Amino acid sequence: MLFHLLPQYADVHIVFNLFRYITFRAAGAMVTALILAFILGPMTIRWLTRMRVGQVVRECGPESHLSKAGTPTMGGALILMAAIASTLLWADPTNGYTQVALLALLWMGLLGFLDDYLKLTRKGSEGLVARYKMAGQLIFGLGLGLFLVLRPLWPIPTSWTMVPFFADWVAVFWLPAYVAFVPVVLAGTSNAVNITDGLDGLAAGLCAIATVTFGVFAYVIGRVDASAYLGLLYLPGAGELSIFAGALTGAALGFLWYNAHPASVFMGDTGSLALGGAIGVMAILLKTEFLLVIVGGVFVMEAASVIIQTGYFKYTARRHGAGRRVFLMAPLHHHFEKKGWAESKVVIRFWILGVLFAMIGFSTLKIR
């Protein structure tokens, strides 16, 4: 909004010219979302408490988590409000990348809200049936894939995507395969963040690391000079995604203020599915789907631990009559809790891993 309103007054004062620059607007979006989350946080927590929107804790989980029962949840609504308002204020609302990213954030957030709402009304840890939740993610992903094929946002073929560490190589999909690839990336990222959201501050901190990383990539990919120098595909207009990424980072950090251990509020599926969907859609729009595996390395580890644990348990149950486990408990963060690590230690060490994976992602800019 400010992008269209203020630069026209540059002849009145040169300060208004700043609103043309993506770097300034991305920083503004981050700070605005952070302040909004700070301001709205206490009101949101009081409202959730008054509405008795409390967390339901599984009895089969770590014993230390039983004390968290009743803590306000669905705090992801705070992230959505701060991120969407900040994006609309600082980004170009007519930009196709911005519109698609906001739509993905809203869709996944509403899907998560429905899941959280059903958990609360049923007074249990089971919300929306898993296959219905997956169907909602895949339907949106398929719709997005078809839209990008029929109304591409890029000057390059839709089925191209970049390969990390290789400047002159791109992965080329058969168009129907690309349409199927988009929902896999979107649903996979969304569910991986959802799985990671099990400790105070863990998912919020990791999402902030991932979103700021993709914000930098969006800025570089959206510049013809920087993208050519670094051997990246040039996507005109993609730089606006750095404003969206900045808003998400600020909102996640602002939420983390209240979600840090001991948490005053949980994001619930409303926040985790929305943040995961937003990260996934940024990777898709920036043609960096394979980079997502590197930058989101902790999310990959968490999701893989659940897949391995479930698969091995079912296999050994059929083979030996009793299921066996690879980890003490899945997802991976619970495994380390069972080993005796304090919750805060697990969270901080996973954040460090998240920063490490982000640095490896940044290294792909030069190692090409």
DSSP state of 267: -
Using one digit for the tens of pLDDT, what is the confidence trace for 224-250?
A: 999 999 999 999 999 999 999 999 999
Per-residue pLDDT band for 59 (boundaries 50, 70, 90) equals low
User: Rounded distance, CA 114 to CA 217, Å?
Assistant: 32
Q: How wide is the angle at C-alpha 190 spanned by C-alphas 184 and 191, nearest 5°?
A: 90
User: Rounded distance, CA 271 to CA 289, Å?
Assistant: 21
User: Rounded distance, CA 201 to CA 109, Å?
Assistant: 18
Instruction: Could you list the beta-strand ranges (E) of the chain.
Output: 160-162, 170-172
Residue 362 lies in a domain: no
Residue 131 in 3-state DSSP?
helix
Contact 92, 240 (CB under 8 A): yes
Total structural domains in the chain?
1
User: Rounded distance, CA 31 to CA 24, Å?
Assistant: 11
Q: How wide is the angle at C-alpha 114 spanned by C-alphas 75 and 211, nearest 5°?
A: 50
Among the ranges given (57-61, 202-206, 244-248), the one the predictor scored with the smallest mean pLDDT: 57-61
Per-residue pLDDT band for 63 (boundaries 50, 70, 90) equals low
Residue 365 lies in a domain: no
Q: What is the pTM of this model?
A: 0.95
Residue 200 lies in a domain: yes
State percent of the chain over pLDDT 90. Answer: 79
Q: How far is CA 25 from each of CA 30, 186, 246, rounded to the nearest angstrom?
A: 9, 26, 9
Residue 65, pLDDT > 70, answer no
Residue 338 lies in a domain: no
Residue 109: per-residue pLDDT: 96
Alpha carbon 204 to its chain centroid, in Å, reads 9
Using one digit for the tens of pLDDT, what is the confidence trace for 302-347?
A: 999 999 999 999 999 998 888 899 999 999 999 999 999 999 999 9
Burial (0-12, 13-18, 19+ Cβ within 10 Å), 236: middle
Residue 291 lies in a domain: no
Average pLDDT over all residues of the chain: 92
Residue 12, pLDDT > 80, answer no
Using one digit for the tens of pLDDT, what is the confidence trace for 97-107?
A: 999 999 999 99
Residue ranges making up the domain that contains 179: 2-159+174-286
